[in-house]
Amino acid sequence: MHLARFPRVRLFPTPTPLEKLENLTRHLGGPDIWIKRDDCTVVATGGNKIRKLEWLVGEALAQSANHLVTQGAVQSNHVRQTAAVAARFGMKCSALLEHRIDTNDRDYLNSGNVLLDRLFDVAIEYRTAGLDMNAEAEAKGEALRAAGDKPYVIPGGGSNRVGALGYVSCAQELLQQVDEMGLRIDHLVTATGSAGTHAGLVVGLEGCNAGIPVLGIGVRLPQDRQEANVHRLAEATADYVGMRGGVARSAVVANCDYVGPGYGQPTPGMTEAVLMLARLEGVLLDPVYSGKAMAGLIDLVRKGQFRKGETVVFLHTGGAVGLYGYNGVFDQAMGVAFGGKVVRAEIPMHGKVSQVAHDGKFLFAGLTSPGLYLVRVMVPSDLAPGPQKFQITAGAARTPPSLVLMVGPLQDLEDFECRPAPGKSGFVQHGACWLRAPA
């Protein structure tokens, strides 16, 4: 494959580092786990979109565009990276942010990627969930064109055949890197969302007959739809680069068992993975993509799908800026508010519960709507006889309405579950936390 035929700008030095995760490997006791640091692609704290943008912006400049238009979720890493690259090339940037997650959380709405978008001076417009966001971006591009600008519209995640070239070239880079190191790879694992990363890697590796299977860990769609999207884009990309014979459907494999309740919704596996990589390796993952992908890798090692003696490379796609948009989740996970000894408490937060906090005496759950809630508090069996149930009508007096529940001495709290009473509003969220009881 001869990629130099396509226009490109250079945004970061290659190759990105490839490092062994010695402590994680030892901790899990399974395969040798390595990490390809595409979180280190330099621009605006890096991430996988920078590779795609090298080719997308190359094409935009070849078309004399002066305005990048794109879209993503509110905490989109792709939008943040696009905005930064636009600034670097003196282009304007417009972004449509979809309220894909139903939340009023201040950090999610204002911090993390949103804060950086503002620093890069991107013109933000918001959209409600469920629209065809690529069509919205095209319509925005049309409006800008009619007003005399020269827009270049980038689809969500930069995932089209041009953006996917970034990961065709990453596959080539990785092969050269491991050949020089004398490292044999058995599996490559990465997050898969809008599909460009996964599709590009498959095309790059298949095109070189590398014999390295790629496992994409899904973050949004069910497996059949994710694999179909990745395969469609891989075929288009293979055709674009002139790869004969296309891409076999069997070369596209996704595992979508780690999405949890939905896109961008925290899972216990994600919080565990983020904390594990931070504390064992000093590596920052993100809550939406790499955290869930690593949760999948950890679980598959525990289940024996990846075995001792094998070498697994985890492609880190970046996104740690998103951690600032999920402050509350990690506050809870670390028990920051409580001080003293750590008690592990699984907190499945279903449905309309947005936040759970503790002030040493009371347990608070911020509810997004008033209603009748059933709360179950488990205390250690030597202190009290099993789960206690409380029926609570959340008052509408507070905004948002809050549930306030006295749970007795904090040391006794082991497990807490809050869910709407039968017949009341549905469940959508799931979370876990470690409460820190007072010393």
Ligand X SMILES: Cc1ncc(COP(=O)(O)O)c(C=O)c1O
Active site residues: 76
User: Contact region for ligand X (CB under 6 A) — 104-112, 276-284, 314-322, 351-359?
Assistant: 314-322
User: Contact region for ligand X (CB under 6 A) — 171-179, 285-293, 365-373, 413-421?
Assistant: 285-293
Does 169 bind ligand X (CB under 6 A)? Our answer is no
Cβ proximity to ligand X: between 295 and 356 the closer is 295
Q: Evaluate the omega torsion of the peptide bond into residue 15 and state whether it is cis, within 30 degrees of 0.
A: yes
Do 369 and 393 form a contact (C-beta atoms < 8 A)?
A: no
Cβ proximity to ligand X: between 159 and 255 the closer is 159
Does 318 bind ligand X (CB under 6 A)? Our answer is yes
Q: How far is the CB of 407 from ligand X (least distance, A)?
A: 37
Which member of 75, 290, 355, 402 binds ligand X (CB under 6 A)? Answer: 290
Q: What is the DSSP letter of 68?
A: E
Do 110 and 80 form a contact (C-beta atoms < 8 A)?
A: no
Q: How far is the CB of 135 from ligand X (least distance, A)?
A: 18
First to last CA, the chain: 62
Cβ proximity to ligand X: between 151 and 264 the closer is 264
Does 166 bind ligand X (CB under 6 A)? Our answer is no
**Cα–Cα distance, 418 to 362 (Å, whole number):** 14
Site for ligand X in 40-59 (CB under 6 A): 47-48
Site for ligand X in 181-210 (CB under 6 A): 191-198
**Cα–Cα distance, 225 to 222 (Å, whole number):** 6
x/- track of binding to ligand X for residues 248-267 (CB under 6 A): --------------------
Residue in the structure block whose two tokens are 């993390």: 112
366: its two tokens:
């911020």
Residue 264's nearest CA partner among 135, 48, 118, 112 is 112
Count of residues interacting with ligand X (CB under 6 A): 20
Does 291 bind ligand X (CB under 6 A)? Our answer is no
Does 289 bind ligand X (CB under 6 A)? Our answer is yes
417: its two tokens:
């579950």
> Pairing mode, if any, of strands 311-316 and 187-192?
parallel
Q: What is the 3-state secondary structure (H, E, C) of 4-52?
A: HHCCCCCCCCCCCCEEECHHHHHHHCCCEEEEEECCCCCHHHCCHHHHH
Angle between helices 268-281 and 327-334 (to 10 degrees): 70
Cβ proximity to ligand X: between 318 and 401 the closer is 318
* Alpha-carbon distances of 312 from 57, 283, 289, 308, rounded to whole Å: 32, 17, 18, 10
Do 292 and 256 form a contact (C-beta atoms < 8 A)?
A: no
Cβ proximity to ligand X: between 18 and 170 the closer is 170
Do 21 and 281 form a contact (C-beta atoms < 8 A)?
A: yes
Residue in the structure block whose two tokens are 């080539």: 172
Q: How far is the CB of 244 from ligand X (least distance, A)?
A: 25
Does 111 bind ligand X (CB under 6 A)? Our answer is no
Collapsing DSSP to helix, strand or coil, 206 comes out as helix
Site for ligand X in 52-91 (CB under 6 A): 77-78
Cβ proximity to ligand X: between 98 and 414 the closer is 98
User: Contact region for ligand X (CB under 6 A) — 25-33, 117-125, 255-263, 317-325?
Assistant: 317-325
Q: How far is the CB of 340 from ligand X (least distance, A)?
A: 34
Residue 295 corresponds to which amino acid? A
Residue of minimal Cβ distance to ligand X: 319
Does 348 bind ligand X (CB under 6 A)? Our answer is no
> Pairing mode, if any, of strands 123-127 and 92-98?
parallel
User: Contact region for ligand X (CB under 6 A) — 6-14, 242-250, 253-261, 311-319?
Assistant: 311-319
Cβ proximity to ligand X: between 264 and 335 the closer is 264
Does 286 bind ligand X (CB under 6 A)? Our answer is yes
Instruction: List residues near ligand X by CB under 6 A.
Output: 47-48, 77-78, 157, 159, 191-198, 286, 289-290, 317-319
